[in-house]
Chain A
Amino acid sequence: MEPSIQSVVARPKTRKDYQSDQEVRWCPGCGDYAVLAQFQKMLASIGARKEDHVIVSGIGCSSRFPYYVDCYGLHSIHGRAPAIATGIKLANPRLTVWVVTGDGDGLSIGIGHLLHALRRNVDIKILLFNNRIYGLTKGQASPTSPAGLTTRSTPAGNGDAPVNAIQLAIDSGATFVARVRDTDTSGLKEVLEGAAGHRGAAFVEIYQNCPVFNDGAFNKPNETSFALYLKAGQSLIVNDDEVLAFTSKGEPCLRAARGSRKYVHDPADRLNARRLANLDGGGLNDASLPVPFGILLKVDETVHHDTVRRERRKSGGLEALQQRLGAPIGSQGESKIESDLDMRRIA
């Protein structure tokens, strides 16, 4: 579609331009507010044409997101947003398609669609808001709830091991994988802009605090020192004097910064992205190793709609179909049943 002159002149530039007229209905203090603000700022900073962006969501607190952004939105059914987004992208590859989902929507009822969208490298950007709890249904354990968590559905403590979302995404074949915290303004900017610019299946896990049902889910003891911020081309310094390294067997470990062979982060390295994703078992299992944040993986691979398009030929419209069917016969152009044979027989 050719941009019209007016749209160039009228291109919005501020966050306000991307706010919809809908009243935001999240709980006070919800981490979703910060993500929404950063998302709208990101659209402004990339100069997004709002009619070319589509946000698809499923069911859950986070899935109300598309109502609050002034672009196209589709608030669908539980877990199915990646499949809907796949259809949108097949119908019109020029659109920029975002999926907003949560740990229940994306990793429980919809985990199958998530995996298939990633393995097909569908050119969509998936933001998974992980608060480790079901919020909208009022406080049941989710697939990312830590083992032992007491919730309304697990009064004796959650017995299930949690899913590690970024590891799942990497292993499923995502071509852009990142993790960020709702409170990390600059991190959100970097990761959202990175996802926006990525061509292929992008997956962003956002640690998002639910102040009502699971407050402080991400406030581990000495959490700041254990957060590991990944930067491409830089070594991974932890606690100021240690660096992350990998043993010859590929096991992650912390070593003295001085004298060690440092690991330098390369997001194009899928094997290392996998190791990083599993550093702490999803931020839950091993408190001795840091929780990775930032862009773990970014690689370029053929995207889904290009694979489909490659097999396609030039359509010849109705004429070509007519040729394919054969010349029309008579004026009937109908099944024999439609003819008046019936009446002839009776007469």
Chain B
Amino acid sequence: MTTALPQRDDSAVVRFCGDSGDGIQLVGNRFSHEAVRSGNDVATFPDFPAEIRAPAGSTAGVSAFQLQFGTDRVYTHGDQADVLVAMNPAALKTNFARLKDGGVLIVDSDAFTRKALAQAKYDDDPLKAINASRARVIPISMSALILEAMRESDAKRRDILRSRNFFALGVVYFMFGRDCDDIIEWINTKFVSDPLAMTINRQAFMTGYAYAETLELIAWKVPAAVQDNSTPQRTITGNEALSLGLIAAARLADLDLVFGCYPITPASDILHSLARERDDDIVTFQAEDEIAAITSAIGASYAGALGVTATSGPGMALKSEALGLAVSLELPLVVINVQRAGPSTGMPTRTEQSDLDMALFGRSGEAPLPVIAPRSPADCFHAVIEAARIAIERMTPVILLSDAALANGAEPWCPPDLAALQPIRPGFAKSQLNGENNNTAFHPYARDDRLVRPWAIPGTEGAQHCIGGLEKSAIDGAISYDGDNHQVMTDMRLDKINRIRHDVRSFDFLGHQNEKDLTARCGQLLLVSWGSTFGAVRRAVLEAINRRLAIGHLHLSWLNPLGEGIERILNSFEKVIVPEHNQGQMTRRLRCEYLVDAKVLPLMKGRPFSHAEITSTIRSTIG
């Protein structure tokens, strides 16, 4: 099966869409996997509704999966699709705008019945109205073709028709010259317990592939980057990377991991994957509510494990009292917030970055804590290890801000050499017992030069103590309502967090000049990103640098404390723009910390920025 395809040293964007029950996420993931396997870089964006199965054929029930794959680095899942596969009229209706002008539209024409058109609220057949310059429409009678291909089969008509997604996958495989061996092998393994489904899906896939070959439906081949030994063989989603990173962190610290969690979209997959990894040092606990999820994790940390909880915005709101307790107790704790569109229930499956203010300030009293944000799905692995390292070594709760786009999106991943990672060192208090002379009082709030207190876990002889949410006397930890002491403790808690900035890599910079060569106002425009906006901003800035613009990109990994050196970078540019999925939370932070006239570029549409949106801002600002 070697068909000569035109090679483009480039990338392609494919978007699959259909009913929630059509298996769109499955084929999207398989196609991504194949792209990675064959050496492309990939970024994916699953885009699905919160409802499990809205009525079939309705626009509310449309599920989509978009990916960009490329020879070189791919930073985003792509702005608009080169190829759009729409399995029914509702999918076409909700996704057609995502197809670029002149792109290829593949539809299952058998699904465009009068009833289905009416359900999607189309008056006429929309396919007829698409003119040739807008899109090249390829209607394929998918249902009829697979029924025909399997007419000898004993399988029920309904079961055969459920394999339409594999037919469509076969078509797209051919279009991009993908090798079929791996997907066939995968189908054989995946459906090993259901031989009928195995046969149907395999046959549907091959029928689609052969049909595309017959029609010579050729897109282009996206060649692999020059093969070297660093070619990743797997993809990883943000939520998977967080789960694996947590296990790695616990083992680097030689601690048990106790993960307390209450189900919430889009964080639940972390619980699912950790529950599968339960081991004698990995404990998962599905708590009765968000508060029990975090308080059980606090209890676990008090007893000497790495306590972790994960949630999304509404759950984060419920946890805020307990977070304040963790700040007061000065115990290790990792709190993951996979942000989604809010306020309140908002749009549970859609992405947003609007919990930054809550992470930084959303507690009663002065309750500072470190906040870190991963920039890509794979970066979640390292970010959560860093979060755990700071939590354990600095005795503090740490918030990790992920988001729905990172959580479900995937990218290729090279597993790290775990043995080469720096071990995490808990500062456990030592047993204080000296025979009968056990009179040396243990001081739970005595601090070292980093202002870190000892982690005295139950079971440690001679270190018995009681701590709580009441203000504590500095050093001995006894209850204290003394005003001078409260001032000291408040300052100490802040200073302790601020000192972390000396020991972490809290940002990185890329610009028309190296960071060390920056001078005041030497550049025209600085774009600042944090979290998942990294990809779109990085790509747009790279293009602008190639156009010889005096531009820079500052990406913040630690959002609290902010790193030293940020101020100099901000002052090296005439203008500062912060694209973020909120109304300016990081922008306000930079303005207030550094007195810089930063402007926000807000996007609150439940989807990530496209690089075109960033590029157009760059153009309108500095040309």
B-binding residues in A (CB < 8 A): 1, 4, 6-7, 9-10, 20-22, 50-57, 66-67, 69-77, 80, 83-92, 94-95, 112-113, 116, 308-309, 311-315, 317-318, 321-322, 324-339, 341-343, 345-346
Contact = CB atoms under 8 A, between A and B. Distances in A.
Contact of A91 (B299, B420, B441): B299
A313 B228 CA distance: 37
A91 B258 contact: yes
B435 interface: yes
Nearest to A342: B510
A70 B458 CA distance: 12
Nearest to B419: A318
B231 A329 contact: yes
Given A74-B466, A76-B325, A326 B234 contact: yes
B597 to A, nearest CB: 27
Interface in B420-476: 420-421, 431, 433-436, 438, 441, 457-470
B72 A333 contact: no
A333 B414 contact: yes
Interface stretch (B60-68, B376-384, B484-492): B376-384
Given A87-B302, A334-B382, 12 more contacts: A56-B299, A71-B464, A75-B467, A77-B325, A77-B469, A87-B300, A87-B301, A87-B307, A90-B299, A322-B415, A330-B229, A341-B73
19 contacts: A6-B433, A6-B434, A51-B462, A52-B458, A57-B468, A73-B464, A83-B292, A84-B295, A87-B299, A92-B303, A92-B305, A116-B288, A312-B279, A315-B279, A318-B251, A333-B416, A333-B421, A336-B41, A346-B546
B435 A334 contact: no
A329 B415 contact: yes
Which A-B residue pairs are the 3 nearest by beta carbons? Answer: A75-B468, A87-B299, A333-B416
Contact of B418 (A1, A75, A76, A322): A322
Nearest to A52: B459
B232 A329 contact: yes
A47 to B, nearest CB: 15
Q: Specify which of A52, A87, A312, A321 lies most central, judged by the most chain B CB atoms within 10 Å of its CB.
A: A87
A66 B256 CA distance: 26
Q: Specify which of A57, A90, A331, A339 lies most central, judged by the most chain B CB atoms within 10 Å of its CB.
A: A90
A84 B458 CA distance: 14
Contacts of B231: 329
B285 A87 contact: yes
Contacts of B292: 80, 83, 86, 112-113, 116
B153 to A, nearest CB: 38
Contacts of A22: 466, 478-479
B322 interface: yes
Nearest to A308: B283
Contact of B285 (A72, A112, A308): A308
B414 A346 contact: no
A91 to B, nearest CB: 4
A70 B433 CA distance: 14
B10 interface: no
A84 B307 CA distance: 11
A87 B258 contact: yes
A87 B228 CA distance: 46
Contact of B289 (A54, A90, A112, A312): A112
A95 B415 contact: no
B390 interface: no
Contacts of A53: 458
Nearest to B467: A74
Contacts of A66: 466, 468
Given A74-B467, A87-B260, A334-B416, A95 B435 contact: no
Nearest to B281: A315
Interface string B193-232: 0000000000000000000000000000000000011111
Contacts of A311: 278
Q: Specify which of B289, B322, B415, B420 lies most central, judged by the most chain A CB atoms within 10 Å of its CB.
A: B415
Contacts of B283: 90-91, 308, 312
A312 B280 contact: yes
Q: Specify which of B415, B458, B479 lies most central, judged by the most chain A CB atoms within 10 Å of its CB.
A: B458
B538 to A, nearest CB: 7
Nearest to B458: A72
- Band of interface residues on B: 35 or more
Contacts of B382: 334-335, 338
Nearest to A93: B303
B256 A91 contact: yes
A325 B244 contact: yes
A271 B493 CA distance: 53
A318 B458 contact: no
Contact of A75 (B260, B435, B441, B469): B469
A292 B554 CA distance: 70
A329 B229 contact: yes
Contact of B461 (A7, A21, A67, A89): A7
A321 B304 contact: no
B510 A87 contact: no
B458 A341 contact: no
Contacts of A328: 414-418, 420
Contacts of B229: 329-330
Contacts of A314: 279-280
Nearest to A313: B279
Contacts of A94: 459
B3 to A, nearest CB: 30
B90 interface: no
B347 interface: no
B299 A84 contact: yes
Contacts of A315: 251, 279-282
A21 B287 contact: no
Interface string B535-575: 00010001001100000000000000000000000000000
Contacts of B278: 308, 311-313
A313 B297 CA distance: 21
B119 interface: no
B466 A20 contact: yes
A321 B325 CA distance: 33
B458 A333 contact: no
B414 A70 contact: no
B405 interface: no
Contact of B464 (A50, A86, A326): A50
Given A51-B460, A341-B72, A72 B414 contact: no
A330 B414 contact: yes
Contacts of B248: 318, 321
Interface string B224-247: 000011111110000000001001
Contact of B287 (A71, A72, A83, A95): A83
Contacts of B415: 322, 325-329, 333
B412 interface: yes
A338 B510 CA distance: 12
Contacts of A57: 468
Given A86-B285, A336-B412, A91 B304 contact: yes
Given A75-B469, A88-B458, A9 B244 contact: no
B613 interface: no
Q: Specify which of B228, B292, B307 lies most central, judged by the most chain A CB atoms within 10 Å of its CB.
A: B292
Nearest to A333: B416
A9 B436 CA distance: 8
Contacts of A52: 458-459
B247 A321 contact: yes
Nearest to A311: B278
Given A92-B458, A329-B231, A333-B414, A73 B303 contact: no
Contacts of B393: none
Contact of A336 (B228, B411, B431): B411
Interface in B313-333: 321-322, 325, 329
A10 B436 contact: yes
A73 B466 contact: yes
Contacts of B618: none
Contacts of A10: 433, 435-436, 438
Nearest to B417: A328
